[in-house]
Amino acid sequence: MSDIEPVGIAVLGAADIAWRRTVPAVRRCAGLRLVAVASRTPEKARAFADAFDCEAVTGYERLLAREDVAAVYIPLPNALHEEWAEAALRAGKHVLVEKSLTTSAAAATALVRTAETAGLAFMENFAFLGHPQHDRVRELIADGVIGEPQVVSASFGIPRADSGLIRYSRELAGGALRETGCYPVRLAQLHLGDGIGVLGARLRYDPDSGVDVSGSVLLADSAGLTAQCDFGLTHAYRNTYAVWGSEGRIEVDWAFTPPPTTRPVIRLHRADSREERVLPAADQFLGAVTTFAEACADPSGHRRHGTDAVRQATLLESVVRRAGAADPAGPSAVHDARSAHVPA
């Protein structure tokens, strides 16, 4: 990336995840140059801009009209991703959009098609994929350390928090599936093969907010390898996964949100041994934005990101459908909330 001119990137929405993790990583990425931030609230835009030495813009449309912005990072609520990702693509910008991308597979497919037609990079920001610990797990499995993989299990749960947060908003497409459940589902795809489908799903809804607050999903690929995914918003904190094979098991303790200074631990369990391997610390957000910068430099060479996004959206939609069949009284998790009040 050092021989390539950095891509001018702007932030569309002054969200907490942008402030804490993504934008600091952008500022350290050699392939990106932070240009501006847009908010619907001038005070928020100025505070963000002052903190990160970029320009403040009031209004998303004004930001998309800037010629010095070649790429846009969108950390808005889930319900607004489709609208503003499409607007950014139509404006000729590469797009990095926070998970979960959309509330429908059709919308994800349309966005990816628009990006490919325009020759633009398009990527859903699952930052955990930027951490090298997952590559190391896959290498160990490929080396036969645990024999033939049989089952993947993954869990991500967080404690209940302020009910006013976006994750508890039905109108903004919040809920456990798209807040925490999307991580185990995406992780499972690293280890399952082709033809992944949802065999079963269950979502539990909060009667006051109407959003799903916990759930479980069973996935399988065409060869019969399964993945059990559990998640929630009312749990003791946990984010972990394991791959159980014919000769052993690999466990990852801090799968989705390891701090950049943390040295992750991989645990190997076999019949006659127990082993811990401590890996180097890494900033997964820096890894993710670096991958995006590479996609901006060569969109045609990174079309897999679009394919991944469509597959993820398809699986999440299938989860909602399966869970609805299991519990006909459960509210739908798919909503049109473009007219809802959105803090940004």
Q: Which residues are designated catalytic?
A: 99
Name the 3-class secondary structure at 219.
strand
> What single-letter DSSP state applies at residue 146?
T
Report the C-alpha gap between 209 and 59 in whole angstroms. Answer: 29
Other CB atoms closer than 10 Å to residue 233's CB: what's the count? 26
Sign of the C-alpha dihedral, residues 39, 44, 49, 51?
A: negative
Report the C-alpha gap between 187 and 239 in whole angstroms. Answer: 11
In one-letter notation, the amino acid at residue 114 is: T
Question: For every residue of 209-265, which 3-state class applies, written as one string?
Answer: CCCEEEEEEEEECCCCCEEEEEEECCCCCEEEEEEEECCEEEEECCCCCCCCCCCCE
Name the 3-class secondary structure at 28.
helix
**Partner residues linked to 7 by β-bridges:** 32
Report the C-alpha gap between 259 and 91 in whole angstroms. Answer: 35
Report the C-alpha gap between 62 and 45 in whole angstroms. Answer: 13
**Helix (H) or strand (E) segment spanning residue 125:** strand 122-125
Report the C-alpha gap between 93 and 247 in whole angstroms. Answer: 48
Report the C-alpha gap between 115 and 108 in whole angstroms. Answer: 11
- Distance linking the first and last C-alpha atoms of the chain: 32
Report the C-alpha gap between 40 and 343 in whole angstroms. Answer: 8
Radius of gyration over every alpha carbon of the chain, rounded to an integer in angstroms = 20
Residues 6+ apart with CB under 8 A from 30: 1, 2, 6, 290, 293
